[in-house]
Structure 1
Amino acid sequence: MTYPPATSPQPKNRPAWVVGGLTVVSFVVLLWIIELFDSLSDHRIDDNGIRPLEADGLWGVLFAPLLHSNWDHLMANTVPMLVLGFLMTLAGMSRFIFATAIVWILGGLGTWLIGNIGVHCPYVGVRCEPTHIGASGLIFGWLAFLIVFGFFTRKAWEIVVGVIVLLVYGSVLLGVLPGTPGVSWQGHLCGAVAGVLAAYWLSAPERKARERRKLGATNPYLTP
């Protein structure tokens, strides 16, 4: 007598929204762990933020989004990160990762270039060198990405997401304007610009497919 070969149960793939949610939550938990360590070390690691136009301040491009000045700063960023980060993952994990990298690097570099603009020192004769830290630049990048991405891809549900995000968080975009002391409007502005660029670059497949359809409609003899 022969028996059929034993088959091991295949692992079930987790839904994309579950993977995205766990990824964003894990990132936020990491930020809280870093802030705990920062608090225990008397906030010494906050010096590793972006110091504009200083050569060693470029390292801050890598570290600034992970650092926060205090618990209030981190708590103010936590909910927008959870909401916007999760919505970002709905566009696909690869796009979420690439968009985050673009905003992180380009937004940070932009902040390094213009971060001294509009900075006034309250002490006469003393030069003030700001250090930019916080995940708000990343938040502004995600926000801008979500608002415009659907208009680049022309997908209905992504347009709806963009409109809803604009209605709920649109007023936050005023943070790209100078005026609030101690707030890095430069980081907000550069993050938002990087988010728009990321949305344009990462929507290339849909934009190219749309162009091919247009060409096919005008010339039915074109071959792929």
Structure 2
Amino acid sequence: MEENHFKFTNAVVGVPLFFVLFLWFVYWLEIRFGFDFDDNGILPRTFSGLQGVVFSPFIHSNIEHLYNNSIPLIVLLAALFFFYRKEAIGILVYGILLSGAITWLIGRENYHIGASSLIYVLVCFIFFKGVQTQYYRLVALSLTVVVLYGGMVWYVFPKIDETISWEGHLSGLIAGFILTFLYKKPEFKKVIKYDWERPDFDPSEDKFMQRFDENGNFVNLPKSEIIEECQIEIDPFFQSNANVVYDFIENQEDINNKNESKTES
């Protein structure tokens, strides 16, 4: 794949901002009109709790919970839509559904809400996909994600904090890892800068490579053969021994006088 695959588009900024603003809008509705959306979260292994698979990422218990999820979502979604723009929508949608379904299967009997499971989906996908591609830009992105959010891995274990849904975090981690295999990234092609990187390169035709023998030792090029130039014979028809005399006339008056002095034949 060529370098121009990574393009800055409006989605790189627009989608993360719109998504996070929508989360704040939902929380504002809950505060402004006294709604309680917690009942729309994931309630594991219940039929009514299945609605939370779709709705739980948009519901937050308090403003601190919402704030802690907002900044990572903006950063990770922007990275996703810049480096994986063709796969971004699918990863976002299927990441929410898959992580929610796993939480519904393994979660405690309590309502699970918040977009933290989606954050774990994005962190896991970006990290492992960059490692799988072995492309230097995506590997650098993977390392950046580890530096920024590597500490989040502790919150996928139980009894670290009873107030958080470690099941949702673990589900997001599993879902992100599964998506790295479902979305195959095309092979990245190395940009060819030198002739010797081309597949049809022939070392025997290269002037520089000819200075080395088969063992890699420097050798002098063989002396080039001197080709004697053949003298071209001129046809005698075009040769003459007669001298050609040219008259030099300085001005137009001399030309007119010369013409008048000529006798007519």
Task: Give the structure-1-normalised TM-score.
Answer: 0.77
2:88 to 86, 93, 96: 96
Aligned to 1:164: 144
Aligned to 1:78: 70
Q: Which amino acid aligns with 1:72?
A: E
Q: Are 1:196 and 2:177 counterparts? A: yes
More helix by share: 1
Q: Which runs of 5+ in 1 are unaligned?
A: 1-14, 117-128, 210-216, 218-224
Q: Which amino acid aligns with 2:186?
A: P
Distance 1:155 1:203 in 2: 14
Mark the CA change 1:151 to 1:203 in structure 2 (over 3 Å): closer, same or farther. farther
Q: With CA pairs under 8 Å and 6+ residues apart, which has the higher RCO, 1 or 2?
A: 1
Secondary structure, counterpart of 1:93 in structure 2: coil
1:148 to 128, 131, 134: 128
Whether the 8 Å CA contact 1:46–1:133 is kept in 2: the answer is yes
Q: Which amino acid aligns with 2:77?
A: G
> Rg bigger for which structure?
2
2:14 to 10, 19, 22: 22
Shift of residue 204, structure 1, vs aligned partner: 4.7
Aligned to 1:139: 119
Q: Which amino acid aligns with 1:136?
A: S
Aligned to 2:237: none
Aligned to 1:206: 187
RMSD: 1.8
Shift of residue 51, structure 1, vs aligned partner: 0.3
Question: Residue deviations 1:197-224, cap 9 Å, x none?
Answer: 11222135339x9xxxxxxx9xxxxxxx
Q: Percent identity?
A: 32
Distance 2:71 2:149 in 1: 12
Shift of residue 96, structure 1, vs aligned partner: 1.1
Q: Are 1:182 and 2:163 counterparts? A: yes
Distance 1:154 1:35 in 2: 40
Distance 2:185 2:127 in 1: 17
Whether the 8 Å CA contact 1:152–1:203 is kept in 2: the answer is no
Q: Are 1:42 and 2:40 counterparts? A: no
Q: Which runs of 5+ in 2 are unaligned?
A: 1-6, 190-198, 200-265
- Tell me which moved more, 197-206 or 177-186: 197-206
Task: Give the structure-2-normalised TM-score.
Answer: 0.65
Paired residue total: 183
Question: Residue deviations 1:14-56, cap 9 Å, x none?
Answer: x634321111111100110000001123341221000000011
